[in-house]
Amino acid sequence: MPSRSEVTCFGAGPAPLPTEVIEDAAQALVNFRDTGLGIAEHSHRSAMATNIINEAKADLASYLDIPDDYEILFLHGGGTGEFAATAYNLVGAWVARKHSEPGGSVPELQSAVKDLKLDYIVTGSWSQKAAAEAERLFGAEHVNIVADSRKTNDGKFGKIPDESTWNLTPGAAMVYYCDNETVDGVEFPGFPKSLEPGPDGPIVVADMSSNILSRTIPIKNFAAIFFGAQKNLGTTGITVVVINKKFLPPTTSQPPPTLMRQLGLPVPPRIFEYETIAKNNSLYNTLSIFDVYIAGQVLKRLLRQSPKVQGQQAVAEQKAQLIYGALEAHPDIYRIIPDKSARSRMNICFRIQGGDSAEQAFLSEAATLGLTGLKGHRSIGGIRASNYNSVPVEGAEKLAKLIGTFAAKQGTA
């Protein structure tokens, strides 16, 4: 049985956590701060729980430079739950704006709602699922696919379509994109120029579940970002939403359910209503304080290493360059799947000359070296190295070395 220190896990999620955080969490589960109870046994209504939430919010805001006019929410449901929640809430905000304008009577709103659009930039499996969820909830007539990378890449994901081809809807309730696609190894190299804010929007939402805490974010450009905790922040069980307060009371309130029904639009479950979650400091229902605590400990560790995310960004880029460089050194053996212009720093996807047998041999050799979690997603196969924050530079170096030695063996076979 290998020890924890002998294993580097490149799994796509749930991802590994720093050992010191796991050891602290294990103790906290047994007896939290000499209270005689484990942290999971304390009431989520206690002062202790409130302090844990508030500290995590403050540390996240500090690390990512989140402005004061944004709220941080902890929710259930994962990134998949947020496909629905963002659509529900921002359609509600769209209705509220229209209702407050001159001529915003119900009959006029019923006419205006025909033009309601939710925009989606589809660059991988997760953005495809987000768009499909919006179609399921609101109807295909209200969903506009701004761009679909499969149409410019021989029917496969792997590129980000040129922005000159994007078909954005003026006045859309929101524009959604996934900043990093874990399955397909595609990452936006930066904030899209087409989505830069102007006096009338656009209202931009991004899923950053797999690359949060790995680079700087122009928070002011977003209405909201969301991310599951289980890649770079903590354990499966909580999802974080960072939302501009102008979409919350007193600036904007969700329309009453009676109005939404009159308009033929769905009403969100209360647990997905950002207004309700914000009013209750994420404690409308029983939140997993243990998971928030782990996220908070990860943040404190990051803050000790570097006071801002730029420090971790440099490490993430160093690790990605090590692995991509090793692959590029042997183009006759390895084929990197995504186009170079859209390669993810977090999820490095490649195939090996020789097909399944060669890839299985690579995975077996990796396992003997303590390099695990490298099998590609079942939908596309191949190899995938998920290079999240908890993967140390030494682990990336070890994988890069294997890439080189395995290629040498293949070349002489």
CB 58 within 8 A of CB 186: no
Q: Cα separation of 179 and 121, whole Å?
A: 10
pLDDT digits (tens, 9 = 90+) for 159-197: 999 999 999 999 999 999 999 999 999 999 999 999 999
Tell me, what DSSP letter sits at residue 377?
A: P
Q: Low-confidence residues of the chain, pLDDT below 50? A: none
Q: SS3 string of 258-324?
A: HHHHHCCCCCCCHHHCHHHHHHCCCCCCCCCHHHHHHHHHHHHHHHHHCCCHHHHHHHHHHHHHHHH
- pLDDT for the residue numbered 240: 98
pTM: 0.96
For the chain, percent helix, then strand, then coil, each to nearest 5? 45, 15, 40
The pLDDT tens digits of the residues spanning 232-266 come to 999 999 999 999 999 999 999 999 999 999 999 99
Nearest to 56 by CA among 400, 357, 287, 261: 287
Domains, the chain, with CATH or none: 47-300 (3.40.640.10), 308-411 (3.90.1150.10)
Q: What is the DSSP letter of 199?
A: T
Return the pLDDT at 379. 86
Q: Which two three-digit tokens encode residue 394?
A: 């030494």
Position 412 scores a pLDDT of 62
Residue 218's alpha-carbon distances to 192, 215, 224, 316, in angstroms, are: 11, 10, 11, 18
Residue 283 burial by Cβ neighbours in a 10 Å radius (0-12, 13-18, 19+):
middle
Read off the tokens for 63: 């690390």
| Amino acid 232: pLDDT | 97
**Given this model, what pLDDT does residue 413 score?**
52
Task: Specify whether the CB–CB gap between 380 and 349 falls below 8 A.
Answer: yes
Work out the number of other CB atoms within 10 angstroms of the CB of residue 174: 24
